[in-house]
Amino acid sequence: MLLALDVGNTNITIGAFKGASLTGRWRLRTISEQTPDEWGILMRSLFSLSSLDLTKVNGVIISSVVPAVDQPLMAMAERYFQREPMFVTHTTDIGIKNLYDNPREVGADRLVNAVAGFHKYGGPCVVVDLGTTINFDVVSRNAEFLGGIIAPGIGMSISGLFAKTARLPMVDFRAPEKLVGSNTVGSIQSGLYYGFLGLIDGVVERIVADLGADTKAIATGGQGQLIASGSRLVKICDEDLTLEGLRLIWERNHKS
């Protein structure tokens, strides 16, 4: 069994694979202060609740953009799974060419998404990852990671709107009942939803114009389904894309 962990600034997504099948998936808050034992206790609880056997894990792979969490997770893997984890970096053999000006600058999650997007949907493609930021990661038809576009995330915008105004309430990100809001909450929800749809469609439209009409656009991340349901250009939502990318990279680097 393979344990895959995608560590983001806000959440850590955890997947357990038996072969190519994702048998367990969990999402936790990223807490930099947690000790290896606290992470280990969490893992034991998650596996137990899902009736999965911790002792069956024979590999651990991690993509992380939070350096403070790396050492505790490494110690957790060694202590609780007796495995040295594989961290995805710019030097990892991922099967696609990284054309970033400085390959060290690319977040591991972006490379993992690029691998999964190209493997599952072909190239050219753009993966729209809706996390703390909105990342547009672009892969050519020749399996090259071309780079991408980074925009402020939805949660970041909601928090900023609430923090920087005296009377506007905190709201959830959801499709509004109608376009023109007739109350404050509805007006904010409409602005957020259609504003981000417009941003995403606008960026994807320019990428498609640059790469060709056969460019596939795939949404992933927390609000991926909401965006895909309303977008003109992003019609695929793949919630487990990053975990699938981690599995593919592990298998590429551990061929028997």
Residues catalogued as catalytic: 109
- Cα–Cα distance, 8 to 133 (Å, whole number): 10
221: its two tokens: 């991340």
Q: Is the dihedral of CA 234, 237, 243, 248 positive or negative?
A: negative
- Is 98 in contact with 145 (CB distance < 8 Å)? yes
CA nearest to 207, candidates 157, 148, 155: 148
The letter for the amino acid at 105 is: E
Alpha carbon separation from 61 to 65, 86, 108, 166, 173 (Å, rounded): 14, 5, 12, 44, 31
Supply angle C-alpha 151, 4, 231, rounded to 5.
35
205: its two tokens: 């439209």
User: Within 10 Å of residue 228's Cβ, how many Cβ atoms?
Assistant: 21
- Cα–Cα distance, 159 to 168 (Å, whole number): 11
- Cα–Cα distance, 61 to 77 (Å, whole number): 10
- Cα–Cα distance, 114 to 74 (Å, whole number): 24
- Cα–Cα distance, 128 to 110 (Å, whole number): 10
